[in-house]
Amino acid sequence: MSLASPPVRGFHKSAASARADLVAALNSAGLNAASAAPDSATPGAAWPQWTATDFQGHLCDPSRFSFSVYVVLNAADSETTVNDGDDVVTRVAPALFRVAVIQAAEPVLITFGDKTTMPGVRFRVITRM
């Protein structure tokens, strides 16, 4: 697979269409992706969270959407978590690259609605226009 610039695709008209592309990319990397965070922690769960829209000074121009993309890691023990994190970055970055510019991948602790906390990876991305 080449990491050269992907083919030009039209711009996203909404954050929802950008989110759908991110979810599809996450699923293509073998994750259990959804458009929103799950209520409870499950290793391999993934979702994008919209963080900002850059209108680039004009409402009629194509907008760029920024997202934090979360992936839950296995928390069996520290070695398993580290190895899982390495694998996630290796598999997910190329999939996300097809639809977004990746600014960073970083380790995080994710807190869920049921108050559980799990290790994860957060990718900070900007959707391609």
- Residue 9 located in a structural domain: no
Q: In what order do the strands lie in the sheet with 100-111?
A: 32-33, 45-54, 64-72, 117-127, 100-111
- Residue 64 located in a structural domain: yes
- Residue 5 located in a structural domain: no
Question: Pick from 119, 93, 116: which is nearest to 107 by CA?
Answer: 119
Q: How far apart are CA 30 and CA 52, in angstroms?
A: 27
Q: CB–CB of 99/127 below 8 Å?
A: yes
- Range name among 53-57, 71-75, 108-112 with the lowest pLDDT average: 53-57
pTM of the model: 0.86
Bridge partner residues of 66 (DSSP): 52, 126
Question: CB neighbours (10 Å) of residue 83?
Answer: 13
pLDDT of residue 11: 53
Question: Pick from 107, 34, 33, 49: which is nearest to 75 by CA?
Answer: 107
84-119: pLDDT as tens digits: 999 999 999 999 999 999 999 999 999 998 889 999
- Residue 7 located in a structural domain: no
pLDDT of residue 5: 42
pLDDT of residue 15: 86
Q: What is the mean pLDDT of residues 76-88?
A: 93
- Residue 68 located in a structural domain: yes
- Residue 4 located in a structural domain: no
Q: State the CATH number of the domain containing residue 79.
A: 3.30.70.1700
In this predicted structure, the answer to whether residue 33 has a pLDDT above a threshold of 50 is: yes
One-letter amino acid at 109 equals L
The domain tally of the chain equals: 1
In this predicted structure, the answer to whether residue 55 has a pLDDT above a threshold of 80 is: no
Segments forming the whole domain that contains residue 20? 15-127
- Residue 43 located in a structural domain: yes
- In angstroms, the Cα distances linking 79 to 29, 88, 89 are 22, 14, 16
